[in-house]
Amino acid sequence: MTKLTTVKLRAPYLILIGDLGDPTYAKTGLGIVDWRPDLVAGQLRFAGSQVDMGVPDMSVAEAASAGVKSLLIGVAPIGGVVPDSWWDSIEEAARAGLDIVCGLHFKLADFPRLVAAAEASGARLIDVRNPPPNLPVGTGIKRSGKRVLMVGTDCAIGKKYSALALSQAMQEAGMKSTFRATGQTGIMLAGEGLPIDAVVADFISGAAELISPDNDEDHWDVIEGQGSLFHPGYSGVSLGLLHGSQPDALVLCHDATRKVISGWEHYDLPSIRDAIDQHLLMGSRTNPDIRCVGISVNTSKLPADKRIEYLATLSEETGLPCVDPLIDGCGAIVDHIKQLYGEK
């Protein structure tokens, strides 16, 4: 039987920018350069590109001879399709043996020329939106090591960013930690993971168990959240991820000015108290020792003079460190974790 695993990418990456005119659409590529410069060998740009990620320009041939392992389509063009003029380069990369990694809505396997090129060289075509087959059902069996899961009062509220920032802050504080990806952009950043919202419903918690496997007792997996327990569309994903992750700790992610579920405006956001209490209640099913260790707040829409007051009040009400990770960093949450769980 094949060993069950997450999607695993091969670094270093060449990131395809093409002739993109607007950096907005290069968010994925820019995120990788930002958070994981160690994975990036260079960028592939065409005449006319107005985006520069500040990494070396490389042709496919140069990348192949420099030992680059994967071409990442690091852009999300309007309409979600790759311009026709880019396909020659993508095919060339596959022919040169580079894995092609894509997070857009089409499937790489639907392009016969590309499939043929990849088959000839042994390159893999990896749609990071597609989970691998044969995922297991969740066992609920306890795993070794420590886990902290990002949860949110809504979707798209900073869970990925908070996880990346917290994992980095833990490492800076001398702790062992790994960012664990549960979505497509996260997978490109981490180099592995599973797109948890794309798995078949029966296997959500099983996939979550694969994402954060057994580890050293003093190692922390910092797990990217998905959806929200309070979201009328995506709550099932969030509960399966919560149960499968068996987190020791939660960080609640929130936006200081958001009042209703984004795009589902007929639903109010839960209160911070309810959000914490209900996550702890549900999470205690697979980890009775679960606790909330901090709140990560996007305060970007608050006036500057209200920001500190907002976080101080929230911290007083909840007894938890409350930070805007973009401004304050996650040091306060790391300190609290060290205090609760010991220096290790």
Binding a second copy (rule: CB under 8 A), the pick from 202, 214, 216, 309 is 202
Please give the residues from 92 up to 111 whose contact with a second copy meets the rule CB under 8 A.
none
Residue 266 in the binding site for a second copy (CB under 8 A) = yes
Give whichever of 21 and 232 is closer to a second copy, judged by the CB atom.
232
Do the beta carbons of residue 108 and residue 100 sit within 8 Å?
A: yes
Pairing state between β 7-8 and 192-193 = antiparallel
Question: 249 φ, ψ to 5°?
Answer: -140, 150
Picking from 253, 255, 228, the residue whose alpha carbon sits closest to that of residue 242 is 228
Please give the residues from 232 up to 251 whose contact with a second copy meets the rule CB under 8 A.
232-241, 243-244
d(CA 107, CA 112): 11
Three-state secondary-structure class, residue 177: strand
- Least Cβ distance, residue 70 to a second copy (angstroms): 26
Give whichever of 6 and 238 is closer to a second copy, judged by the CB atom.
238
Give whichever of 111 and 234 is closer to a second copy, judged by the CB atom.
234
Three-state secondary-structure class, residue 38: helix
Which stretch of DSSP H or E encloses residue 101? strand 99-102
Give whichever of 167 and 246 is closer to a second copy, judged by the CB atom.
246
Binding a second copy (rule: CB under 8 A), the pick from 9, 204, 211, 330 is 204
Give whichever of 162 and 238 is closer to a second copy, judged by the CB atom.
238
Give whichever of 45 and 147 is closer to a second copy, judged by the CB atom.
147
Give whichever of 116 and 137 is closer to a second copy, judged by the CB atom.
137
Q: How far lies 88's CA from each of 10, 85, 102, 111, 183, in Å?
A: 22, 7, 16, 12, 28
Residue 205 in the binding site for a second copy (CB under 8 A) = yes
Residue 256 in the binding site for a second copy (CB under 8 A) = no
Please give the residues from 111 up to 170 whose contact with a second copy meets the rule CB under 8 A.
137-141
- Least Cβ distance, residue 109 to a second copy (angstroms): 17
Residue 286 in the binding site for a second copy (CB under 8 A) = yes
Please give the residues from 303 up to 332 whose contact with a second copy meets the rule CB under 8 A.
none
Per CB under 8 A, the segment of 95-103, 106-114, 281-289, 290-298 that binds a second copy is 281-289
34: left (phi over 0), alpha (psi -120 to 50) or beta: alpha
Residue 260 in the binding site for a second copy (CB under 8 A) = no
Do the beta carbons of residue 241 and residue 204 sit within 8 Å?
A: yes
How many Cα atoms sit within 13 Å of 144 on the Cβ side?
Answer: 5
Question: 313 φ, ψ to 5°?
Answer: -65, -45
Binding a second copy (rule: CB under 8 A), the pick from 96, 156, 280, 282 is 282
Residue 199 in the binding site for a second copy (CB under 8 A) = yes
Per CB under 8 A, the segment of 30-38, 43-51, 191-199, 288-296 that binds a second copy is 191-199
Which residues on neighbouring strands pair with residue 296, listed in sequence order? 253, 323
- Least Cβ distance, residue 344 to a second copy (angstroms): 27
Indicate the DSSP class of residue 57.
B
Q: Which residues are CB-contacts of 99 (< 8 A; sequence separation ≥ 6)?
A: 9, 10, 69, 70, 71, 123, 124, 125, 126
Give the count of residues interacting with a second copy (CB under 8 A). 37
Per CB under 8 A, the segment of 73-81, 167-175, 228-236, 326-334 that binds a second copy is 228-236
Q: Tell me which residue has tokens 């399709």.
A: 81
Interacting residues with a second copy (CB under 8 A): 137-141, 196-202, 204-206, 229-230, 232-241, 243-244, 264, 266-267, 278, 281-282, 285-286
